Amino acid sequence: MEEKKYNANEDIFSKILRAGRRTYFFDVRSTKAGDYYLTISESKKFTNEDGSFYFKKHKIYLYKEDFQGFTDLLKEMTQYIIDEKGLEVISEIHQKDYKKEDNTNSEKSEQVEEEKNEKENFTDVNFDDI
């Protein structure tokens, strides 16, 4: 049996996040000097017209000296999105029954509804009866 030689890029610790057609790989790797760094890889599955599929991959290398800044910005940006749009996913891709609202029709509908309510709440008073 052959002994496995140490590979400087060998994964030290790995986690996988599957998210629909995307898969994210978080891998701790070692430099030649023996220090650690993080790679974050995104792999997205695509289908050809003939039914075969292929993957597009993107990778980010993140070194210890950048961890704090990266973490701070990631936290700030994700919090901004949650504060502005909430946690609910609003996407035609993710929600098959999603219907895009047309603001002009929506505003007109609200105005018609308000006018209808005003007419229903209006009492016709004849001053000749007084």
* pLDDT for 11: 77
* Average pLDDT rounded to a whole number, residues 40-60: 92
- Evaluate if residue 32 carries a pLDDT over 60: yes
Q: Is residue 106 in some structural domain?
A: yes
* pLDDT for 20: 86
Q: Is residue 27 in some structural domain?
A: yes
- Residue 109's domain spans which residues? 11-120
In the block, residue with structure tokens 């993107």:
58
- Evaluate if residue 8 carries a pLDDT over 80: no
Q: Is residue 130 in some structural domain?
A: no
Q: Is residue 1 in some structural domain?
A: no
* pLDDT for 2: 41
Structural domain total, the chain: 1
Query: Cβ(54)–Cβ(46) under 8 Å?
Result: yes
* Average pLDDT rounded to a whole number, residues 107-129: 51
What percentage of the chain carries pLDDT values higher than 70? 63
CATH of the domain at 116: 3.10.450.700
The tens digit of pLDDT for each residue in 71-110 reads 999 999 999 999 999 988 877 665 555 555 555 555 555 5
Q: Is residue 56 in some structural domain?
A: yes
Using a 10 angstrom Cβ sphere, with 0-12 exposed, 13-18 middle and 19 or more buried, the burial of residue 51 is exposed
Q: Is residue 73 in some structural domain?
A: yes
Specify the pTM. Answer: 0.59
Q: Is residue 125 in some structural domain?
A: no
pLDDT band at 111 (very low <50, low <70, confident <90, very high): low
Helices (H) and strands (E) in the chain, counts: 2, 4
Top pLDDT among 46 and 108 is at 46
